[in-house]
């Protein structure tokens, strides 16, 4: 497993990250075993959020990582506040709320600090200075080591890159979603790493039936699936390699966050990743070979 520096921090995160959102809180023993297996395979970056399962995801992950907490990079997120009646959530990054939320997350995760705390979205209406000041206070208090955001909104992450000390931005990024790419120079200049999520495009890039995805029509997705399969067969590659390679060979990307529910699924990902390492793969030449109308 390769470990990459996360932005302007002293954190080194595994190229394959573990997205805890996929854990089944109704199968706690299996979920805990999966997390611990992932750690044993070299994954050191584990990511959750207080939003997932109304906090139950953090509780489960906290139990799973307890034996090796000090040996991992643990991340969570804040900003989506569950309504008291459980009917949904509202956006809230007021200092009062996120100060309460960090303490609740630490309690659920059974730890006294987070390595990375992320603003789980963001809007133009947020009190940016208040959010940043609160995060900086958390750093001084030792509750978090670093902070970042999780946003695909340029008007949000651009301001954070230029006017705060974020070390990362989690963004949806895959062969089917290249929206982050125009901003890679900004991230590099700001020393902010990209944590890529949605790398397999909800499974469409590996084993799921073609469907509409973002601005791609179903037949366009099917065509891309066919191109990926043909390229993989010609070059004797595991079909998961190309989606991983497309993301991880971008120097701005520190980790590809993958969500799995079984050891078998995780093994498939890790097997492909290990084959990827020696692969001489030119992302840009590959990209030119198809879907030219969508990617310049």
Residue 83 has pLDDT above 70, yes or no: yes
Mean pLDDT on 180-198: 96
Question: Taking a C-beta distance cutoff of 8 angstroms, is the pair 73, 11 a contact?
Answer: yes
Per residue in 56-65, pLDDT (tens digit) is 999 999 999 9
Mean pLDDT on 15-24: 95
In the chain, where are the structural domains located?
Answer: 3-201+239-288
Q: Which of 118-127, 145-154, 166-175 has the lowest mean pLDDT?
A: 118-127
What pLDDT, on a 0 to 100 scale, did the predictor assign at position 115? Answer: 98
Mean pLDDT over all residues of the chain?
91
Could you give the CA distance from residue 217 to residue 214 in angstroms, rounded to a whole number?
Answer: 8
Q: What is the pTM of this model?
A: 0.92
Per residue in 207-224, pLDDT (tens digit) is 788 999 998 999 988 988
Q: What are the distances in angstroms from CA 204 to CA 181, 223, 294?
A: 20, 12, 17
Which tokens in the block code for residue 240?
A: 């998961």
Question: Taking a C-beta distance cutoff of 8 angstroms, is the pair 273, 3 a contact?
Answer: no
Concatenated DSSP letters of the chain: --EEE-SSSS-EEESEEEEGGG--TTSHHHHHHHHHHHHHTT--EEE--TTGGGGHHHHHHHHHHGGGGGGSEEEEEE-EEEPTTSS-EEE---HHHHHHHHHHHHHHTT-S-EEEEEE-S--TTS-HHHHHHHHHHHHHHTSEEEEEEE---HHHHHHHHHHS---EEEEE-BTTB-TTGGGHHHHHHHT-EEEEE-TTTTTTTTTSPP--BTTB-HHHHHHHHHHHHHHHHHTT--TTHHHHHHHHTSTTEEEEEE--SSHHHHHHHHHHHHHHTT----HHHHHHTS-TTT--
What pLDDT, on a 0 to 100 scale, did the predictor assign at position 295? Answer: 43
Hey, which residues are catalytic here? 52
Question: Taking a C-beta distance cutoff of 8 angstroms, is the pair 51, 89 a contact?
Answer: yes
What fold characterizes domain 3-201+239-288?
A: TIM Barrel (3.20.20)
Per residue in 237-294, pLDDT (tens digit) is 788 888 998 899 899 999 999 999 999 999 999 999 988 765 555 655 666 555 444 4
């Amino acid at each position: 497993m390769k470990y990459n520096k996360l932005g302007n921090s002293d954190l080194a995160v595994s190229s394959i990250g573990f997205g805890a959102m996929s854990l089944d809180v109704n199968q706690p023993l299996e979920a805990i075993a999966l997390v611990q297996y992932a750690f044993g395979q070299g994954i050191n970056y584990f990511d959750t959020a207080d939003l997932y399962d109304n906090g139950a995801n953090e509780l489960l992950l906290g139990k799973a990582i307890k034996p090796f907490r000090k040996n991992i990079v643990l991340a969570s997120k804040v900003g989506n506040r569950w309504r008291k009646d459980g009917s949904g959530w509202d956006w809230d990054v007021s200092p009062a709320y996120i100060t309460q939320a960090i303490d609740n997350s630490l309690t659920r995760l059974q730890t006294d600090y987070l390595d990375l705390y992320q603003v789980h979205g963001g809007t133009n209406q947020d009190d940016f200075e208040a959010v940043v000041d609160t995060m900086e206070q958390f750093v001084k208090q030792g509750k978090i080591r670093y902070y970042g955001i999780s946003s695909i909104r340029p008007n949000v992450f651009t301001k954070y890159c230029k006017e705060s000390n974020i070390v990362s931005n989690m963004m949806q990024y895959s062969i089917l979603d290249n929206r982050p790419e125009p901003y890679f120079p900004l991230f590099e200049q700001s020393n902010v790493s990209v944590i890529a999520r949605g790398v397999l495009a909800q499974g469409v890039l590996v084993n799921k039936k073609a469907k509409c995805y973002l601005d791609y029509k179903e037949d366009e997705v099917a065509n891309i699936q066919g191109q990926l399969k043909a390229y993989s067969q010609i070059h004797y590659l595991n079909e998961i390699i190309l989606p991983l390679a497309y993301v991880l060979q971008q120097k701005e990307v520190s980790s590809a966050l993958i969500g799995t529910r079984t050891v078998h699924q995780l093994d498939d990902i890790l097997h492909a990743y290990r084959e990827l390492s020696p692969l001489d793969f030119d992302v840009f030449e590959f990209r030119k070979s198809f879907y030219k109308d969508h990617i310049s």
